[in-house]
Structure 1
Amino acid sequence: MIKVLFICHGNICRSTMAEFLMKDLVRKAHRAADFQIESAATSREEIGNDIHRGTKAKLREVGVPFTRHAARQVTRADYDRFDYLIVMDDENIRDLFRIIGSDPEGKVCKLLAFAGKDRDIADPWYTGNFDDTYDDIMEGLAGFCKHLDIK
């Protein structure tokens, strides 16, 4: 089983969007049983809160199912539990390392790195632009699926 944890600042916008998009992609590829896909936050600001309404609206617009979600903060134990800890921006990386310490197994990376890009995925909490966030996440997920040989 491949265990993937998507991480952003609050776990209500970008990481939840990536979580449910990835779940949909593996389901459509008939590989859902091969994966455990979750999301978490680097901060404690949104703990317990559901997915942001803008993320829900975008997921509905593109026909991707989602379930009720309670934001949680990533833990040091998550490093051992997951094979991939995929973040959305450089700030997430800094904050994640404050929690997990180090990355001796090379599990931490930015999502767009799988698409050959070094840039961040903008936080729609601040930009209000869930369309651009969706496009960036899908670009990263396409590269991630190629990396994992998911067709």
Structure 2
Amino acid sequence: MEKIKVLFICHGNICRSPMAEFILKDMVQAQGLASQFEIASAATSTEEIWNGIGNPVYPPAREELARHSISCEGKRAVQLKKSDYDKYDYLIGMDTMNIRNIEKITGHRGGKIKMLLEYTGSTASVIDPWYSRKFDDTYRDIVTGCKAFLEYLQKQGKIEES
């Protein structure tokens, strides 16, 4: 079975999308499903990328992950590329502005592009902690979304039970 390729996307790739990347990696590892996935994250902007080198995960986001024993060691911001649409099975944005920018960059609409909380049946955005400063709320939103995403994959028969 081919790996399920998931790309989480936010504006800068230093808060929400890397948090989602490492939360989902942690979840699939804990469930013995890690070998079935390829999980990454990217930015729609270049604001956190300088001379081709991305900034590391924003310290408060890194600290929130660490509070839950999740490491994001070595992660640096990268920008979404047009070719990522073909590479990944799921392009998951955090808010409606991300979705518009993902569509603009990839040249595709809908299909494999969704907001994370859509998997919970909600049209809500994942709270942006850059502005709210509530990294714990963002963490909870992402955990809720990732659990719902895994349930969706199970219902679709895409995950092989370990």
- Shared fold by TM > 0.5? yes
1:90-101 to 2 correspondences below 5 Å: 90-101=96-107
Question: Share of identical aligned residues, percent?
Answer: 47
Deviations 1:46-69 (A, max 9, x none): 021000101111111011122211
State the number of aligned residues: 150
Counterpart AA for 1:121: V
- Give the gaps of 5 or more residues in structure 2: none
Partner of 2:44: 42
Corresponding residue number in structure 1 for 2:141: 136
Residue 28 (structure 1) aligns with = 30
Normalised by the size of structure 2, how large is the TM-score? 0.89
Deviation at 1:97, TM superposition (A): 1.2
Is the counterpart of residue 56 in structure 1 residue 62 in structure 2?
yes
Q: Which of these residues, 8, 11, 23, is aligned with residue 9 of structure 1?
A: 11
Question: Given the two structures, how large is their TM-score scaled by the length of structure 1?
Answer: 0.96
Deviations 1:94-135 (A, max 9, x none): 11111011137x100000010111011121111111011011
Task: Find the counterpart in structure 2 of residue 69 from structure 1.
Answer: 75
Between the aligned partners of 2:57 and 2:93, the Cα distance in structure 1 is: 17
Structure 1 stretches of 4+ moved >3 Å? none
Which has the greater radius of gyration? 2
